[in-house]
Amino acid sequence: MNKIITVEVSLEPADNTRLASLCGPFDDNIKQLERRLGVEINHRSHQFSVVGKSHTATAAVDIIKSLYVETAPVKGHYPDLEPEQVHLAIKESGVLEQSTESSIPYGKEINIKTKKGVIKPRTPNQAQYISNMITHDITFGVGPAGTGKTYLAVAAAVDALERQEIRRILLTRPAVEAGEKLGFLPGDLSQKVDPYLRPLYDALFEMLGFERVEKLIERNVIEVAPLAYMRGRTLNDAFIILDESQNTTVEQMKMFLTRIGFNSRAVITGDVTQIDLPRNTRSGLRHAIEVLAEVNEISFNFFQADDVVRHPVVARIVQAYDVWEAEDARARKEAEKRRRQEREQALNATQNIQTEEKQP
């Protein structure tokens, strides 16, 4: 049973500038911790007191200490602590998870190192995802937006390249229109499809820097291309990422999976709730989940709203859509059942009338 306790902590070294960054304007960061964790936080200078249930109060103190470390000056400059960092620290702590089991310190065990720093998983699902990318030839990451599917996959690819485990990175996604037509966009084919590949470029730029990415692209060490360009190729010594795979057809998914050569790894990411394919066209991702479920060399990772590491409202949006879709599916099923019953009743009534008419 979690009783109410008070946990006190003294932040050292005492530094008013760092404390101001930790608390945020008008104590907004502290209020966010109080609201999200259900605790009361009082502080005088560098002395903090947290009142709440034992597990949340203890977690709140640990989060405060970890956030204070992030306010340390770098080359004489004091960084500002953003609300996003507070949100990520809460997610990383695992305190909001329903399970009462002791959480594995996944953030400390499975890290990805890039030139820009260490990238750590924020949730147990993300930790398992990274582990699977390291140990499996083919890894599927399926779930809603904001769960880190693409970002962590690009980070794992960059890490493998830095370790010289592979010789090249290939990033691809299907150029499927979501209401727009490619033919009406200005420019040549490359300029038309570039906007579809922008999220992959952004992740690369963040991890390697703009200039290095440009040089690696010029040397064909990194290749970013639409899925159609993969046909007929065999990809050896490569880390291949297929993003937005829910928009592949069954044939395209099979084509992609059969491109994988020796000493290559592939990661396929997608969200089965956001399919932009024409009606009556089956998603290659949905089909692959069914067909490949029993293949041992392939891992499947299914993310949920709790794994969203963007603004907290994104997780609530995903949850709201999940609830609506479940209710809508149930309503459709009940409506179809009622229509079937009405048809059966009408058929039975017709048969009864015909039977009565035949009687003398």
Q: Express each pLDDT in 320-353 by its tens digit.
A: 877 787 788 778 888 888 888 888 888 888 877 7
Whether residue 11 is contained in a domain is answered as: yes
Rounded CA separation 195/182 (Å): 11
CA distances from 350 to 77, 251, 355, 359 (A): 85, 47, 9, 15
Higher-pLDDT residue of 355, 21: 21
Contact 182, 175 (CB under 8 A): yes
Q: What is the pLDDT of residue 357?
A: 67
Lowest-confidence pick of 25-34, 166-175, 344-353: 344-353
Asked if residue 35 lies in contact with residue 86, where contact means CB atoms within 8 angstroms, the answer is: no
Which amino acid belongs to residue 123? Answer: T
CA-to-CA distance for 327 and 177, rounded, in angstroms?
A: 29
Q: Are residues 140 and 248 in the same domain?
A: yes
User: Which CATH number characterizes residue 87's domain?
Assistant: 3.30.1370.10
Closest Cα to residue 238, out of 308, 160, 301?
Answer: 160
Q: Whole-angstrom Cα distance, residue 289 to residue 304?
A: 16
In a domain, 334, yes or no: no
Q: Residue 131: which domain range? A: 109-310
* 281 part of a folded domain: yes
Looking at the domain assignment, is residue 341 inside a domain?
Answer: no
Crossing angle of helices 83-93 and 28-37, rounded to 10°: 30
Determine contact, residues 201/224, Cβ cutoff 8 Å.
Answer: yes
- Judge whether residue 179 has pLDDT over 50: no
Indicate if 159 and 287 belong to the same structural domain. Answer: yes
350 lies in a domain? no
132 in the same domain as 88: no
What letter represents residue 101's amino acid?
A: E
On the question of pLDDT at 360 being above 80, the answer is no
CA 280, CA 142: separation in Å to the nearest integer?
21
Residue 187 pLDDT grade (very low, low, confident, very high; cuts 50, 70, 90): low
pTM for this structure? 0.60
